[in-house]
Amino acid sequence: MENFNNLKLIIFDLDGTLVDSSMDITNALNYAITPYGFKPLTVEDTIKMVGEGLTRLIEKILEDNNVSIKDAVLDRFIKYYSEHLADFTRPYPGVTKTLEMLGRYKKAIISNKRESLSKKLLEQLGLIKFFDVVLGSDSAPEKKPSPAPVKKVLKILGIEPHRAIIVGDSDFDIQAGKGAGLITVAVTYGYRNREMLKDADFLIDSMGELLTLIEIHDA
């Protein structure tokens, strides 16, 4: 069993891990695509596609035959989404309490959402105070599943890989963590099914279980 005794840093994914943002992303996508004759998406449609960043998400919806409208759709999405980041988005159960209990650890976020939108959302939800570093899809030379953003966080905070873990809801988080030499923890309640999380070192069914995993107990 991996040793958490020397743990200094916990890196979190954002969407699907700390917050359920699926409704607000779906609403923004529909605002962006419906003028072009696309069928509105359901939340389930969105969940299947998110994770690789906004540009890739739009590309999946438009497919190859609509490249000419990609920039316009992207602009519409960003304009709407940046004004409706937290209409329906909320932290998952136990997230805020868990972050409060993790006070003695450094904490960071690595999202494939753009850095400015990630920070704005965290501010609106009152969560940004918990984090020492927040990186987005545009904060490092490559985004997850590349280990580049993980290595950047380690460098900023001056922490060795064996003293850090990453917590996320997708195979991208697991790959990014493993590529940088971190212990990986996957949450099962997010946007990916358990089968896609099988390479994680640990699985947890709620954020509160993270406390048990790293052996913090309520005094």
DSSP code of residue 64: G
Beta strands in the chain (DSSP E): 9-12, 19-20, 90-91, 106-110, 133-135, 164-168, 183-187, 202-204
Q: Which of 13, 15, 24, 173 is catalytic?
A: 13
Q: Is 66 helix (H, G, I), strand (E, B) or coil?
A: helix
Q: Identify whether the C-beta of residue 134 lies closer than 8 Å to the C-beta of residue 153.
A: no
Domains, the chain, in order of start with CATH, read: 9-20+91-213 (3.40.50.1000), 22-83 (1.10.150)
User: How much of the chain, in percent, has pLDDT values that exceed 90?
Assistant: 89
Residue in this structure with the two tokens 């696309």, named with its chain if needed: 38
The token duo for 84 is: 């409706």
Residue in this structure with the two tokens 């972050």, named with its chain if needed: 99
pTM for the model stands at 0.94
Q: Identify whether the C-beta of residue 131 lies closer than 8 Å to the C-beta of residue 36.
A: no
Amino acid at 63: E
Amino acid at 67: V
Mean per-residue pLDDT, 121-127: 98
Question: Where is average pLDDT lowest: 53-57, 81-85, 119-123, 162-166?
Answer: 53-57
Question: Which of 218, 2, 208, 18 shows the shortest CA–CA distance to 118?
Answer: 18
Residue in this structure with the two tokens 């699907």, named with its chain if needed: 16
Residue 13 a catalytic site member: yes
Higher-confidence position of 4 and 142: 142
